[in-house]
Homo-oligomer: A and B are copies of this chain.
Amino acid sequence: MKDKYAGAALPPARPLPGGAQHGSAPCAACAARVLSVCNAVGDEDLPRLAAITVSQEVEERRTFITAGDPAEHFFNITEGVVKIYRLLADGRQQITGFLFAGDFLGLATENTYAFSAEAVTAVRYCRFTRKAIGRFLEEFPKVEKRLLTIASNELAAAQEQMVLLGRKTAREKVASFLTLLSRRMQRLGKADDVIELKMSRQDIGDYLGLTTETVSRTLTQFRSTGLIDMPKTGLVRLSDPRALAELSEGARSDITAL
């Protein structure tokens, strides 16, 4: 089942209908713009940006970047959730990040992609060719600066994730994950105590370096100790965000232990 959509021999993602993707309107109207690189481009230059982008949508479960393929594009996620992952020879999977609206994709890339990317939900993105980006950056050095900032932030996040993977316990990992998603909601100005888990337990496990079962058990334990509440599938309410945050940083875990 994990391989259902694997492999690269897929029909291409379809461009949005109507050719609406060429023109300044889409960029100006883009809800993700404020969150993304594109924010570094002034209103007056949006047409230039729009000219090099193609907006596309990808259905749930579709792999749209396969590790090893020539890296021809950069992507800007405008809607949905994407998982970035790498595989070992025997199929073990490590998800190196989840991407959401506003996130930029393609930095960790030389000539070929070193990772795969799969749409966790239905996804919409703007795509640029590397060539076009190159020319564009010449003209808008501000965007290049922004890319460097983004890369720095991603690098910091990657280091944080290394701490999690290398040194945290299962409980701390899951608490970190919930806290991370909560912070993201906060940044978006939404209620930060209710989280939608769009991804499967398997994906959460592959992100945290755990098995599905351990993720499930840990969530159950959190629920039974009153740290979280799960009103319905895919929804988690953080009953005690503070305790979760402390737990995620490696605070004494005996205080909330079963």
Q: Are B107 and A152 in contact (CB under 8 A)?
A: yes
What 0/1 pattern do residues 120 to 149 of A give for CB contact below 8 A with B?
A: 000000000000000000000100110110
Q: How far apart are A145's CB and chain B's nearest CB, in angstroms?
A: 7
Q: Which of B86, B110, B145, B209 contacts A159 (CB 8 A)?
A: B86
Instruction: State whether the Cβ of A240 lies closer than 8 Å to any Cβ in chain B.
Output: no
| Bound CA span A145–B144, Å | 8
Q: Which of B88, B107, B208 contacts A163 (CB 8 A)?
A: B88
Q: Which of B151, B249, B251 contacts A151 (CB 8 A)?
A: B151
Instruction: Scan residues 62-97 of chain A and give those whose CB is less than 8 A from a CB of chain B.
Output: 84, 86, 88-90, 92-94, 96
| Bound CA span A162–B84, Å | 12
Q: Are A89 and B148 in contact (CB under 8 A)?
A: no
Q: How large is the interface on A (under 10, 10 to 19, 20 to 34, 35 or more residues)?
A: 35 or more
Copies assembled: 2
Of A115, A152, A209, most buried by chain B (CB within 10 Å of CB) is A152
Instruction: State whether the Cβ of A166 lies closer than 8 Å to any Cβ in chain B.
Output: yes
Q: Are A144 and B154 in contact (CB under 8 A)?
A: no
Nearest neighbor of A90 in chain B, beta-carbon distance: B250
Q: How far apart are A36's CB and chain B's nearest CB, in angstroms?
A: 17
Contacts of A158 in B (CB 8 A): 96, 108, 155, 158-159, 162
Q: Are B209 and A152 in contact (CB under 8 A)?
A: no
Q: Are A152 and B110 in contact (CB under 8 A)?
A: yes
Instruction: Scan residues 216-258 of chain A and give those whose CB is less than 8 A from a CB of chain B.
Output: 249-252
Contacts of A88 in B (CB 8 A): 163, 167-168, 249-250
Q: Are B163 and A161 in contact (CB under 8 A)?
A: no
Instruction: State whether the Cβ of A160 lies closer than 8 Å to any Cβ in chain B.
Output: yes
Q: How far apart are A208's CB and chain B's nearest CB, in angstroms?
A: 7
Instruction: State whether the Cβ of A30 lies closer than 8 Å to any Cβ in chain B.
Output: no
Instruction: State whether the Cβ of A20 lies closer than 8 Å to any Cβ in chain B.
Output: no
Q: Are A152 and B94 in contact (CB under 8 A)?
A: no
Instruction: State whether the Cβ of A153 lies closer than 8 Å to any Cβ in chain B.
Output: yes
Contacts of A206 in B (CB 8 A): 166
With known contacts A158-B159, A165-B209, A152–B109 Cβ distance under 8 A: yes
| Bound CA span A152–B144, Å | 13
10 smallest CB-CB distances across A and B, nearest first, come from A166-B209, A88-B250, A158-B158, A151-B151, A165-B165, A108-B155, A94-B163, A108-B156, A96-B159, A165-B166
7 examples of A-B residue contacts, CB within 8 angstroms: A88-B167, A89-B250, A92-B250, A96-B159, A141-B144, A148-B148, A151-B155
